[in-house]
Amino acid sequence: MKVLGIDPGLATMGWGVVEARGSQVALLEAGALITTPEETMPQRLFHLYSGMKQLLARFQPDEIAFEELFFAKNITTGIAVGHARGVTLCACAEYGCPLYEYTPMQIKQSITGYGKADKHQMQHMVKLLLRLDDIIRPDDAADAVAAALTHVQAGRMKEQFVMK
């Protein structure tokens, strides 16, 4: 089973693809779709939409796991990231495989065993779980891989995380 993990963002949208075969999980690839403030909002959103469609065509995932959005303070940033998440959801819905969503706390709990783990703990555990030589960069890509790993680890319980 191939799982595409997505960490939504407007400037940097992290993605990572893992493949699970039995109890073995391997990282296929990870990266980020990048947009710049010099682009208009419609250009940035189209860039993310078309980039996601290319990733879906290239990797042909069986399932897709999103990190749920979380914002504490800045509503303007939240709206922009919500737009980015929306076009990404649209591309994924068009692709047609099941979509799942996990909160940051659920991902941290799944990967480290502690729901309030910091970024360094998360990156280190992702590296260990996938037996990698280096930490995944950028951070957004590492977060996306963590979402994909969380989905794989959810196993039979994954249905409770399906997007509604």
CA quadruple 33, 164, 21, 149: dihedral sign = positive
- Give the mean model confidence (pLDDT) for residues 59-67: 98
Alpha carbon 86 to its chain centroid, in Å, reads 14
Answer yes or no: is pLDDT of 72 > 70: no
pLDDT tens, residue by residue, 10-58? 999 999 999 999 889 999 999 999 999 999 999 999 999 999 999 999 9
Give catalytic status of residue 38 as yes or no.
no
Which CATH number applies to 2-161?
A: 3.30.420.10
Where do the domains of the chain lie?
2-161
Active-site pick, 63, 67, 101, 143: 67
> Among this protein's residues, is 140 annotated catalytic?
yes
CA distances from 136 to 17, 40, 125, 163 (A): 12, 29, 11, 27
Q: Do strands 12-21 and 2-7 pair parallel, antiparallel, or not at all (unpaired)?
A: antiparallel
CA dist 15 and 7 (Å) reads: 6
Query: Among 91, 100, 87, 19, which Cα is nearest to 55's?
Result: 91
- Tell me the Ramachandran region of residue 12: left when phi exceeds 0, alpha when psi lies from -120 to 50, beta otherwise: beta
Catalytic residue among 68, 94, 134, 140: 140
Q: Tell me the whole-structure pTM to 2 decimals.
A: 0.95
Identify the active-site residue in 7, 63, 101, 143.
Answer: 7
> Does the annotation count 67 as an active-site position?
yes
What is the residue-wise DSSP string for 97-130? Answer: S-EEEE-HHHHHHHHHS-TT--HHHHHHHHHHHT
Q: What percent of the chain has pLDDT over 70?
A: 98
